[in-house]
Amino acid sequence: MIKRITLSLALAYSVLCSQMVQAQEWSFAVWLDQQQIGTHRFSLDQNQLQSRADFKVKVLFINAYRYQHQADETWQGPCLKKLSAHTEENKARTDVRGQQQDAQFVVENNSRKQFLPGCVMTFAYWNPEILKQTRLLNPQNAEYLDITVTDQGFKNITVKGQVISAHQYYLQGRFEGKDKLKITLWYDQKQEWVGLESVTPEGYKIVYKPI
């Protein structure tokens, strides 16, 4: 009886440790030019991802812009199975819902419905597989963008006060023929995501710094 209890406890501990190893988090301070405007945090536990962003831009101590975004995603391998996202940009609110149904991924953005291929990916920066995609789904507005990725080799960048050699990629997103996203991504030697820089259509630079 004691051996059985010991074995059961060991098995339970093994399962718990396995779950703990699988859980990952990425936390970034977000900067707009020289001003820190908020944070963006990602938490992946097995196949469940939570994304939480909270930005606030001040001009002369006045809140000029507010952005809040939360997304919950369920994954099976490289394929998105389910998506629920809510975004508030100043007074505008957007809700996106999506789910894999048979051989399609059905996305609803408020009253608009789209039928996409069965295996789609969002901008899951934490997963280097996005670098192999030709199209990605924006969970904020349900746009299914055409993607071009350019490998720019290894560059030295500063991560948490230390200079490291990171693999740099340049990602461009276009929707209905118009430029939408210009993003630079960095991954360390273990292919862990360690940085992001984006240039807005207005020319502002947004930088993600790990914290």
User: For residue range 33-65, what is the model confidence (pLDDT) as tens digits?
Assistant: 889 999 999 999 999 999 999 999 987 666 789
What Cα–Cα distance (Å) separates residue 176 from each residue in 64, 146, 202? 30, 8, 19
Task: Report how far residue 176's alpha carbon sits from residue 83's, in angstroms, rounded to the nearest whole number.
Answer: 23
What Cα–Cα distance (Å) separates residue 193 from each residue in 42, 91, 99, 112, 125? 11, 32, 26, 33, 7
164-180 confidence digits (pLDDT tens): 999 999 999 999 999 99
End-to-end CA distance of the chain: 48
72-121 confidence digits (pLDDT tens): 999 999 999 999 999 999 999 999 999 999 899 999 998 789 999 999 99
Q: What is the pTM of this model?
A: 0.85
